[in-house]
Amino acid sequence: MPSYSVRINDRTHQIEGQPDDSLLSVLRYELDLTGSKFGCGEGACGACTVLVDNQATRSCVTRLAAVAGKSVTTIEGLAGTPLHPVQDAFLEAEAFQCGYCTPGMVMATVGLLRTNPEPSDADIARLLDRNVCRCGTYPRIVRAVKLAAERMRKTDTVGAKVEVRR
Amino acid sequence: MTRSSDSEVDIEIERYELTEAPRYTFEVDRRDFMRIFGAMGGGLLVFASMPGAAQESGRTGQQTVSSDVSAWVHVDERGHITGYTGKTEIGQNIRTSLTQAIADELRVTIDRVSLVMADTDLVPFDQGTFGSQSTPRMAPQLARAAAAAREMLLDRAAAQWNVERSTLAVKDGRIVGPGHSAGYGEITKGQKLAGAVPAGASPSRIADWMVRGTPQKKVDGVAFVTGRHRYTPDITRPGMLYGVVIRPDGYAGTLGSLDDGAARAMAGVTVVRDGTFAGVVAPTDRLARKAASSVKAEWRVSADLPSSQTVYDHLKKTATTGGGRGGAPTVAGDVSAARAAAAWTFDASYRIPYIAHVPLEPRSAVAEWSEGKVTVWTGTQRPFGVRTELADAFRIPETQVRVIVPDTGSAYGGKHTGEFAVEAARLAKAAGKPVKLVWTRVEEFRFGYFRPAGVIDVKTGVDADGRITAWEFDNWNSGPSAIQTPYDIPNRRIQFHQSESPLRQGSYRGLAATAKHYVREMHMDAIARALGVDAVEFRLKHLKDERMRNVLTAAAQKIGWPKASSTNRALGIACGTEKGSYVATAAELSPAGKAFKIERLVVSFECGAIVNPDGLTNQVEGSIVQGLGGALFEAIEFAEGRLLNGSMAQYRVPRFKDIPPIEVVLLNRKDLPSAGAGETPIVCVAPAIGSAARNFGTVATELPVKLV
């Protein structure tokens, strides 16, 4: 079986697999990184969203061969303690119900804020539109994204970690 | 219909969602106390029973508690408190609200309380998590147990310290009195105390709530934002294998021939055949899917199956009159005479399509056999019902089955059955190792079940004063519940007709109420329009129920009824009641080509005393968003035994771009017991939008709402 070198959460892994194995199945089955969720397997719900070279990517429709030599960040690699500002914002806005979409939403938001640090409501709706929250917490997620954006901008200008109330 | 003695709320439960779980009597005697203590350590254990059930009081563990024990609360030797309930957490956030109830009665902060939920070996029997019952029925049970535990701790402390009990008080998780102060753990240390809630005991008055009634964050929110929480598809067991079930291409089909030669030739693959069941097991998910796709199966599909176009005729044609589930109509007065004497009559026929729940966590299970006993982790709303399904399927006693439900990635009424648990257990039995089975999204659509399709005919008569005098309401297939009208109409004939459903159907959020409210409210709107009277005034003229009048008035006021915010916009409104709570929804629309755009939604909601205001707002918003799907675009299309839009890409669910500003008005009735809130807010979304759209043209009589 071919072997692929992939950097996952800042560690290089040699992964044996077929070129068209999905990145999601590698994460979940080979590495037991189950924070990225299986929702549809069609790239249509976003529950499996991870960052590939800092870009939000649907891991269920991403081939293993396509991430060879690249850097993958999953929800497990996002932060430890303290949490990432996006995670804190989701907690503060209570931007979830069942939570199944949450890791994908968080990763999609992190990706979004990397390219657009000050998104409008319309930007958020457009850029997160491929992520589904079937419980319907969209208004809260929009609030969480804006809250996180505001805090991350502050961190950037002050150059210091912003204290986040939890 | 049953009456809940503690909430004075009538609850209708859809008959088809109850698969008649065998009557289960939970008996706890001293040995069981000891067994439970063995698992939990010492401390204090208090059992609660449903009101009305035979109970025995006592505080020393000498008696046998033999009754419908519904919950228990344990205070351990470190003073940590654990509640045990058969309810499941599926995103409705009862893990938080039930924790609030326990913490409140034991006068501690909620971080001192945990909940063990939906593990059939650890918790008392529970019928299932549906019908918005957790808040009106389970929360008072846990509260009674916690309150009894508090009183027992006081008794104990008074005895230990040899002081008057009346000199002692409970504060911040401690018993305090003159010269004494001890944590709960110190009082229960080294003890094994057990008791039952005394008959007639009631939890604190709503006016005395300290933790309930305040906004609380999801108790284990961090586990979700970090991805640490393990849902069923995330669970692994040592030596676990992966399973796939062989299925037809369409939603229907009986197995004809099957050639599994290629799969059997694959190293490590086990093919499982049992009657019409066929599946494969392999050490990796990849190999299991490869093996499954190598199986050549022929499926027989009957000819002339109804399609999503012909299903409505089919439902009427196959209806059974009288008997069966249909039963007799509800009749009041003389509807024919009233129609004949009416100044105006109105007739309409509405069509309701099948829609899908689409829970983001697919149906899945991990099954493990050990010495004849099977343990299954699965996302279901009915852990004890699934335990029965497993016991029946494998012809073993229920004591040999353990069902554990991890907090689940939503359900919305779609996870009442346990076929995926049975399938995983069958594969695991054959393989001799634990097996994980996760349905694909396509399997979810094809082999789950849908909200029923239906046809609803409504015929009314209105007298010269503009008062409705006759109301005929015939409903084919969309469920027997929520069929009565809340409006004050003297002559009525209301009937449910059972039909043969071509697609598998079952419970859904709000049960049958989404369809009934759509038709009832659209018809009320149509009459008001025809008479040229205000739609809110017209409803109020026919409403005696003060709670309904209040939500309707609140929504109308908030949206600025009857004037839209600008001249090209239009308003619509609807109200309803279900599961003991009340909702009104108002919509503001603008025209957009031949369609319309929703500019704003207002929802007013009243469910008695509010337990967790922020959690409630979240549930109301979520219901409204889910309601938008059925109102605007959700409908299952099918023909010749196949679904035509049975995938995530094809079946449109609400997304970010579909969400208008939603304003929630909560009416807090601290004088009324709390009712559930996870379902009712969904019921008026479609008629609010539909009635607003009528200002731009004729609205089709088939959901989703569209202009024709």
In whole angstroms, give the CA distance from residue B628 to residue B681. Answer: 11
| SS3 (DSSP) at B640 | coil
Residue spans of the domains in chain A: they are: 3-77, 85-158
Is the CB of residue B93 less than 8 Å away from at least one CB of chain A? Answer: yes
In whole angstroms, give the CA distance from residue B548 to residue B541. Answer: 12
In whole angstroms, give the CA distance from residue A41 to residue A135. Answer: 19
B621 and A137 within 8 Å at the Cβ level: the answer is yes
Residue with tokens 């469910």: B607
Q: Are B561 and B586 in contact (CB under 8 A)?
A: yes
In whole angstroms, give the CA distance from residue B487 to residue B468. Answer: 9
Q: What is the pLDDT of residues B297-350, one digit of tens each?
A: 999 998 899 999 999 999 999 998 654 455 689 999 999 999 999 999 999 999
Lookup: tokens for A109 = 């938001």
Rg (CA), chain A: 16
A75 and B657 within 8 Å at the Cβ level: the answer is no
Beta-carbon contacts of B155 under 8 Å, excluding residues fewer than 6 positions away, are B59, B165
B227 and A40 within 8 Å at the Cβ level: the answer is no
Residue B694 amino acid letter: R
- Residue of chain A nearest B442, judged by CA positions: A40
In whole angstroms, give the CA distance from residue B299 to residue B256. Answer: 5
Q: Are B587 and B688 in contact (CB under 8 A)?
A: yes
Helix (H) / strand (E) containing B177: strand B174-177
Lookup: tokens for B549 = 């009048």
- Edge-to-edge, what's the strand order for the sheet holding B69-75? B113-117, B81-85, B69-75, B43-49, B192-196
Instruction: Just give the CATH number of B311-355+450-693.
Output: 3.30.365.10
Residue among B113, B429, B37, B511 nearest B243 (CA): B429
- Ramachandran angles phi, psi of B550, nearest 5°: -65, -45
Helix (H) / strand (E) containing B101: helix B94-105
Instruction: Give pLDDT, residue B42.
Output: 82
Instruction: Give pLDDT, residue B7.
Output: 36
Lookup: tokens for A75 = 């929800």
Q: Looking at beta carbons, which residues of chain A come within 8 Å of B656?
A: 124-126, 128-129, 131, 138, 141-142
CATH 3.30.365.10 occupies which residues in chain B? 2-225, 232-301+363-438, 311-355+450-693
In whole angstroms, give the CA distance from residue B382 to residue A147. Answer: 38
Tell me the CATH class for A3-77.
alpha beta
Q: Which of B227, B647, B662 sits opposite A76 (nearest CB)?
A: B227
Q: Tell me the CA distances in angstroms from B284 to A23, B280, B349, one per residue in order.
A: 15, 11, 52
Interface of B with A in 7-46 (CB under 8 A): none
Q: Which of B90, B360, B659 sits opposite A47 (nearest CB)?
A: B360
Q: Looking at beta carbons, which residues of chain B come within 8 Å of A120?
A: none
**Which of B95, B360, B443 would you mutate first to test chain A, the one with the most A CBs within 10 A?**
B360
Q: Which of A39, A45, A139 sits opposite B621 (nearest CB)?
A: A139
Phi-psi region of B274 (alpha: psi -120 to 50; beta: other; left: phi over 0): beta
Instruction: Give the other-Cβ count within 10 Å of B249's Cβ.
Output: 13
- How do beta strands B344-352 and B454-462 pair? antiparallel
Phi-psi region of A23 (alpha: psi -120 to 50; beta: other; left: phi over 0): alpha
In whole angstroms, give the CA distance from residue A39 to residue A47. Answer: 6
Q: Are B57 and B48 in contact (CB under 8 A)?
A: no
Instruction: Give pLDDT, residue B127.
Output: 87
A91 and B222 within 8 Å at the Cβ level: the answer is yes
**How much is the pTM?**
0.93
**Which of B111, B225, B285, B634 would you mutate first to test chain A, the one with the most A CBs within 10 A?**
B225
Interface of B with A in 404-423 (CB under 8 A): 407-410, 412
**SS3 string of chain A?**
CCEEEEEECCEEEEEECCCCCEHHHHHHHHCCCCCCCCCCCCCCCCCCEEEECCEEEEHHHCEHHHHCCCEEECHHHCCCCCCCHHHHHHHHHCCCCCCCCHHHHHHHHHHHHHHCCCCCHHHHHHHCCCCCCCCCCHHHHHHHHHHHHHHHHHHHHHCCCCCCCC
Beta-carbon contacts of B566 under 8 Å, excluding residues fewer than 6 positions away, are none
Burial class (CB in 10 A: 0-12, 13-18, 19+), B499: buried
- List, in sequence order, every beta strand (DSSP E) within B335-467: 344-352, 364-370, 373-378, 401-404, 435-438, 454-462
B360 and A98 within 8 Å at the Cβ level: the answer is yes
Q: Does domain A85-158 have CATH number 1.10.150.120?
A: yes
DSSP state letter for B355: B
Residue B441 amino acid letter: R
Beta-carbon contacts of B227 under 8 Å, excluding residues fewer than 6 positions away, are A34, A35, A36, A74, A75, A76, A102, A103
Q: Which residues pair with B369 in a beta bridge?
A: B374
ipTM: 0.94
Q: Looking at beta carbons, which residues of chain A come within 8 Å of B362?
A: 38-39
Lookup: tokens for B211 = 């933790």
Instruction: Give pLDDT, residue B198.
Output: 82
Lookup: tokens for B609 = 């005393």
Instruction: Calculate how close chain B gets to A126, using CA atoms only, in Å.
Output: 7
Q: What is the pLDDT of residues A68-114, one digit of tens each?
A: 999 999 999 997 779 999 999 999 999 999 999 999 999 999 999 99
A135 and B622 within 8 Å at the Cβ level: the answer is yes
DSSP state letter for B234: G
Instruction: Give the other-Cβ count within 10 Å of B164's Cβ.
Output: 10
B647 and A138 within 8 Å at the Cβ level: the answer is no
**Which of A18, A64, A100 would you mutate first to test chain B, the one with the most B CBs within 10 A?**
A100
Give me the total of CB pairs closer than 8 Å, taking one residue from chain A and one from chain B: 170
Residue among B412, B314, B484 nearest B17 (CA): B412
**SS3 string of B410-446?**
CCCCCCCCCHHHHHHHHHHHHHCCCEEEECCHHHHHH
**Which of A97, A109, A120, A123 would you mutate first to test chain B, the one with the most B CBs within 10 A?**
A97
Q: What is the pLDDT of residues B271-307, one digit of tens each?
A: 999 988 999 999 999 999 999 999 999 999 988 999 9
Q: Which of A40, A78, A98 sits opposite B441 (nearest CB)?
A: A40
Instruction: Just give the CATH number of B232-301+363-438.
Output: 3.30.365.10
A45 and B360 within 8 Å at the Cβ level: the answer is yes
CA angle A119, A123, A126 (to 5 degrees): 150
Lookup: tokens for B543 = 């409403």
**Which of A40, A90, A135 would you mutate first to test chain B, the one with the most B CBs within 10 A?**
A135
Lookup: tokens for B688 = 């609010």
**Which of B218, B226, B648, B659 would you mutate first to test chain A, the one with the most A CBs within 10 A?**
B226
Instruction: Give the other-Cβ count within 10 Å of B159's Cβ.
Output: 11
Burial class (CB in 10 A: 0-12, 13-18, 19+), B707: middle
In whole angstroms, give the CA distance from residue A144 to residue B87. Answer: 30
Interface of B with A in 359-398 (CB under 8 A): 359-362
Q: Looking at beta carbons, which residues of chain A come within 8 Å of B229?
A: 99
B361 and A39 within 8 Å at the Cβ level: the answer is yes
Is the CB of residue B267 less than 8 Å away from at least one CB of chain A? Answer: no
Instruction: Give the other-Cβ count within 10 Å of A95's Cβ.
Output: 30
CA angle B41, B115, B237 (to 5 degrees): 80
Cis before B406 (ω within 30): no
Is the CB of residue B530 less than 8 Å away from at least one CB of chain A? Answer: no
Q: Tell me the CA distances in angstroms from A127 to A105, A114, A140, B648, one per residue in order.
A: 11, 12, 16, 18
Q: Tell me the CA distances in angstroms from B101 to B208, B506, B677, one per residue in order.
A: 12, 31, 16
Q: Are B354 and B453 in contact (CB under 8 A)?
A: yes
B657 and A103 within 8 Å at the Cβ level: the answer is no
- Torsion, Cα B486 B487 B493 B496, to 10 degrees, reads -30
Is the CB of residue B228 less than 8 Å away from at least one CB of chain A? Answer: yes
Q: Are B538 and B579 in contact (CB under 8 A)?
A: no
In whole angstroms, give the CA distance from residue B412 to residue B358. Answer: 9
Residue among A136, A22, A98, A124 nearest B617 (CA): A136
Instruction: Give pLDDT, residue B27.
Output: 44
Is pLDDT of A41 > 70?
Answer: yes
- Residue of chain A nearest B290, judged by CA positions: A21
Instruction: Calculate how close chain B gets to A157, using CA atoms only, in Å.
Output: 26
B93 and A45 within 8 Å at the Cβ level: the answer is no
Is the CB of residue B649 less than 8 Å away from at least one CB of chain A? Answer: yes
Instruction: Just give the CATH number of B2-225.
Output: 3.30.365.10
Q: Looking at beta carbons, which residues of chain A come within 8 Å of B614?
A: 94
Q: Enumerate residue ranges in chain B where pLDDT < 50.
A: 1-27, 52-67, 323-324
Q: Looking at beta carbons, which residues of chain A come within 8 Å of B225?
A: 83, 87, 90-91, 96, 99, 102-103, 106
Q: Tell me the CA distances in angstroms from B12 to A112, B75, B181, B513, B624, one per residue in order.
A: 46, 36, 48, 11, 22
Interface of B with A in 609-648 (CB under 8 A): 614-615, 618-619, 621-626, 647-648
**A117: Cα separation from own chain's centroid:** 16
DSSP state letter for B683: T
